[in-house]
Amino acid sequence: MADTYDFGLVGLGVMGQNFILNVADNGFTAFGNDLDPEKVKALIKLGGDENKINASVAVTEFIKALKTPRKIMLLVPAGKVVDIVIESLLPHLDEGDIIIDGGNSFFTDTDRREAYLKEKGINFFGAGVSGGAKGARKGPSIMPGGSRDAYQHVKPIFEAVSAKYKGEPCVTYLGPKSAGNYVKMVHNGIEYGLMQLTSEIYDLLRKAGSLTNEELHKTYALWNEGRLQSFLVEITSKIFEQKDEFGNGNLVDQILDKAKQKGTGKWTSQNAMDLGIPVPTIDIAVSMREISALKSERIKADELYDRPTPESFDKKELIVKAENALYFAFIITYAQGMHQLADASKEYGYELKLTEIAKIWRAGCIIRAALLADIADAFKADENLQNLLLSTYFVEKVQETVDSVRELVAYGAKNGIPLPGLSNALTYFDAYTSTRLPLNLIQAQRDYFGSHTYERLDRKGIFHTEWGL
């Protein structure tokens, strides 16, 4: 058994188990490790042939089974657990071995771990994995960053197991240090935004158009055949079909409206603020999950305030406008995420290629969508494109849909239907495309009360006024 397995994986939960089986299915031998003997037994049973896939609870046995340089992937919860696993492996590793963090680690943790392990002669890189448990089994989108040389040892395996878009693997080396984990973080931030928007449109169709679950299923399924084709729209259409096993009609109607989160959306929002990059659609998606958690307070507040009865809206017209609005807002959300990636690349020295990022998101990952092929083309046509809204291709698409957004946001405001993601997307668009904003007044206020100075339109320099004199 010694030195015979191509790939090692620590953490045999659902994601880890599926990923290692995927590795074995694609012609590589793989050895797993987990503290839980039941998970080890389950993998061995599923793997079938011990020469192709095996596992152990013992770290020493696990390490000895791997070919050098050892390629060890961690699929364990982000945070302290990653550090604990690294420390358990270190005494048994040799110089040049490779540790890959496949979890949702915060990017600064990845930078810290890489520097720490580099001193010990061990290669470390973060590789975001998107696609959920099914993606891990059948082909995820993988976002690796770290040592370019170390990645070459893992490249054949990652390219084999990743999702494919028209034959192209949805994985590529993204850049040094924590580039991979950073891209996965922003991926998840975009995911928050798209999920919020999808749920808002559902709420609008329900309240304004009185669509039944069957009609919602058909509507989202139809949208998924067009320009909104995406994983999230696809699964949304299927959700409306699911019956409740307890016999209470459709399952979606019995699910509590409190959305949980693991922190990656919040990280995206916080870091965007650090960089000075506006991502309001992602920001509000995080905030709405926080508002949703205030269920008992929301019930009390609902009893205290009157809410308008929604005016009738022609069902067919509403569906057309809702499709326009969702497409518009999807574009805006991707634009915000890509803008953040571009600036982070400069700030942190990642050397990210946005075209390549859009390409590896086209299949396998949670935010995969037909729209990403157009996004990839836009950045390919102009590598220095500052924002998707400046792409001539997207100008046309946005112009075609923005009027529907304006109408629906106004309708939601008048009729008491919260559409924060959609309205924030519209506000972002209107602000970004405005030559002049009223922030001149804010600068005057800041100078008035704090002598913070200001700049002028008509001449260069920094100015201060003794206001009121």
Nearest-Å Rg of the Cα atoms of the chain is 25
* 452 labelled binding-site residue: yes
Closest CA to 43 of 18, 60, 26: 18
- Annotated active-site residue 297? The verdict is no
Residue 56: which H helix or E strand, with range? strand 53-56
> Is residue 188 marked as binding?
yes
Tokens 């990645």 correspond to: 151
Query: Is 262 labeled as ligand-binding?
Result: yes
- Give CA separation, 346 vs 45, 91, 275, in Å: 47, 36, 10
132-136-141 Cα angle (round to 5):
80
Say if residues 325 and 401 touch (Cβ distance below 8 Å). yes
Element (H, E) at 275: helix 264-275
Find the length of the chain. Answer: 469
Does 380 appear as a known binding residue? no
Tokens 């309205």 belong to residue: 423
Q: With beta carbons less than 8 A apart as the criterion, state whether 181 and 106 touch.
A: yes
Helix (H) or strand (E) holding 168: strand 168-169
298: annotated binding-site residue? no
Residue 213 counted as an annotated binding residue? no
CA 189 to centroid of chain Cα atoms: 5
461 annotated to bind ligand:
no
Instruction: Please name which of 356, 10, 25 lies closest in space to residue 160, comparing C-alpha atoms.
Output: 25
Written as one letter, the residue type at 378 is A
Annotated catalytic residue within 191, 200, 323, 356: 191
With vertex at residue 215, the alpha carbon angle to CA 396 and CA 232, rounded to the nearest 5 degrees, is 55
Asked if residue 8 lies in contact with residue 73, where contact means CB atoms within 8 angstroms, the answer is yes
184 is catalytic: yes
446 is in an annotated binding site: yes
3-state secondary structure at position 68: coil
Q: What is the dihedral of CA 38, 41, 47, 53, to 10 degrees?
A: 110
Catalytic residue, chosen from 39, 71, 184, 359, is: 184
- Side-chain-side CA neighbours of residue 104 (13 Å): 19
Q: Calculate the dihedral angle through the C-alpha atoms of 221, 222, 226, 231, rounding to the nearest 10 degrees.
A: -10
In DSSP notation, 13-75 reads: SHHHHHHHHHHHHTT--EEEE-S-HHHHHHHHHHH--TTTEEEES-HHHHHHTBPSSPEEEE-
Q: Which residue has the tokens 């499709």?
A: 323
92 is in an annotated binding site: no
Please check if 339 is assigned to a binding site: no
Task: Give the long-range contacts of residues 37-44, CB within 8 A, separation 24 or more.
Answer: 39/12, 39/13, 40/12, 42/12, 42/17, 43/12, 43/17
131 is in an annotated binding site: yes
Positions marked catalytic: 184, 191
Q: Which residues are annotated as a binding site for substrate?
A: 104, 130-132, 187-188, 192, 262, 289, 446, 452
Q: Which residues are annotated as a binding site?
A: 104, 130-132, 187-188, 192, 262, 289, 446, 452
